[in-house]
Structure 1
Amino acid sequence: MALRPNPTLRQRRIGAELRRMREQAGFGGSHLARTLGVTPAQVTQMENGKTGVSVERLRAIAAACMCANEALIDALAEMIGERGKGWWEDYRPSLTTDLLDVAEIESHADRISTYTITFIPGLLQTPSYAASVFARAIPPLPQSDIDLRMAFRLNRQRTVRSGTTPYTAFVHEAALRMQFSGPTVLAEQLKTLIRDSESSGVSVRVVPFDIESLPGPSENFTYIGGPVAELDTVQIDISFGCPLFDAPAQLASYREILARMASVALSEEDSRDFIRSIVKEIESKHG
């Protein structure tokens, strides 16, 4: 069987979970290979997502590694059975793999939570606001790249705007006040954010400046929920990419951060009132 030259994020995640099963059992690759009757190289290829794994092989590996987590095994079996190409694959020749990975994992998410401190969450940005954010990249992006990223962003937003994937956005007050392209664009973005917050499946919670302590890190992050907690993923925004993390300790840490965020953020209705007050302030100052 030919090796996959570019395994998808889901294929790589299946492999990573197989590796985690093996390591938790205390087995080396050679030990598992002997148990399965394959070569160590084949075990490595499965764990890297370079070669496919049947549901039968998955269950054989789980049994060999004494994994009794049936919910996880069933979820992985369902992932193995997925067929078809995602819409993001059309962008593979033009965009980086990390951007494609984010779209893929969002499309399969059971729920999504974000925290942003520098800008409105990307999945809720208006076209004008998003274009102004992209235009401030250093070094500057050519207009063709901005247009490409805009089209990609609008496709990603369908996950939230369809109402099928529950979405919670914790937005720091700093992000509500940050201007990327002047007061008019910001005011329109905030009005759209209010409307989105009233949509089914979308929750917007403001984290104001005056809370006693800010829980968690200072970077923007997204927590993508899977069918079981073990298949959750955290994505962090940095200047040169959007890395993904799925180690159990990391997931537990960010779940705690989100729980604390929920305890200090304003309620949904109070958040809408807060955003309206900022819009009123902008329009009175610049209207």
Structure 2
Amino acid sequence: MALRQKPTLRQRRLGAELRRMRETAGLGGSQLARLLEVTPALVTQMENGKSAVSVERLREIAAASMCTNGSLIEALADMVKQPDAGWWEEYSDSLATDLLDVAAIEWHARRISTYSITFLPGLLQTSAYAASVFARAVPPLPPADGDARMAFRLQRQRVVRSGATPYVAFIHEAALRMQFSGPKVLADQLGALVDDSEDPGISIRVVPFDVEALPGPSENFVYTEGPVPELDTVQIDISFGCPLFDTPSDLSNYREVLASVASVALPEGESRDFIRSVKSEVVRKHG
């Protein structure tokens, strides 16, 4: 069977979990190859996502690695069985792979949590607000790229607006007040946030300035929950990409961050009132 030239995110994640399984057992690639009666090259290719892994092979690897985590093994088996393509593939010729990966993670997530400190979460942005954020890119985005990103972002929002995936957005007051394209765009965006906060599948909680210590990192991040905790993923928003983290230590650290943020964020009702008050202030000052 020909090797995959560009493994998808889920194929790479499956391979990474197989590698973690092997390394946890203290096995080298050659040792596992002997136990499976395959070549060391095939072990490497499976762990890189370049060679397909059947459910039967997955179970052989788990047994050889003495993995007793049944829930993880079954979740990985489901990954093997499920279709790997999605709506985001239509953008494969116009957008970077890391953006497609973000959409794939969100689509398969059981729950999504975000922490936003510099700009409001993309899954809740209005078209005008998103356009103003894209317009600040350095170097500037060509018009066609900006249009593609806009359409892509609006499609991504269906994950939470459909109610299919529970969503919790922790938003720092700084993000509520940051203006990218004038007070009207911000006021409209804040009004949309209030409306979204009434959606039973969307929880919006504000972290006000008067919290004694700023919880967590200084960048926006997204925490997506998989079918089991071991398959959770963290995505960091930076200027030049969307790096993903999925090691047990990274996941543990960001779970702690989310717990810390949740402990100081305002409850949903108070957060809704807080957003209304910021919107009123923006309108009063600039209206």
Identify the TM-score tier after normalising by the shorter chain: over 0.9
| 1:135, distance to aligned residue in structure 2 (A) | 0.5
Q: Deviations over 1:14-65 (max 9, x none)?
A: 0000000000000000000000010000000000000110000000000000
1:168 corresponds to which letter in structure 2? V
Q: How does 1:229-248 map to 2 (within 5 A)?
A: 229-248=229-248
**1:116 corresponding residue in structure 2:** 116
Identify the residue that residue 71 of structure 1 maps to in structure 2: 71
* TM-score computed with the length of structure 2 as normaliser: 0.99
- CA RMSD, Structure 1 to Structure 2 (Å): 0.7
Higher mean Cα deviation, 82-91 or 187-196?
82-91
Q: 5 Å matches for 1:90-109?
A: 90-109=90-109
The answer on whether the counterparts of 2:15 and 2:47 sit within 8 Å (CA) in structure 1 is yes
- 1:109-188 superposed matches below 5 A: 109-188=109-188
Q: Does 1:218 align with 2:218?
A: yes
The residue number in structure 2 matching 1:53 is 53
**TM, length-normalised to structure 1:** 0.99
Q: Distance in 1 between matches of 2:10 and 2:159?
A: 17
Give, in angstroms, the shift of residue 261 of structure 1.
0.5
- 1:85: Cα distance to partner? 2.3
C-alpha separation in 1, matches of 2:263 and 2:217:
16
* CA distance in 1: counterparts of 2:286 and 2:216, whole angstroms: 34
Give the AA of the match of 1:126: T
Deviations 1:108-164 (A, max 9, x none): 000000001011100000000000000110111111111110000011000010011
1:216-275 alpha-carbon deviations (Å, 9 max, x no partner):
111110000000000000000111001000000110000011001000000000001000
Which 4+ residue blocks in structure 1 deviate beyond 2 angstroms? none
Gaps in structure 1 of 5+ consecutive residues: none
- Partners of 1:269 and 1:41 lie apart in 2 by 56
1:196 is matched with: 196
Give the whole-Å Cα distance in 2 for the aligned partners of 1:83 and 1:206.
37
**Secondary structure of 1:250's aligned partner:** helix
2:25 and 2:84 map into 1 onto residues whose CA distance is 33
Identical-pair percentage: 73
Aligned residue number for residue 286 of structure 1 = 286
CA distance in 1, matches of 2:68, 2:26: 15
Aligned to 1:12: 12
Distance 2:119 2:81 in 1: 38
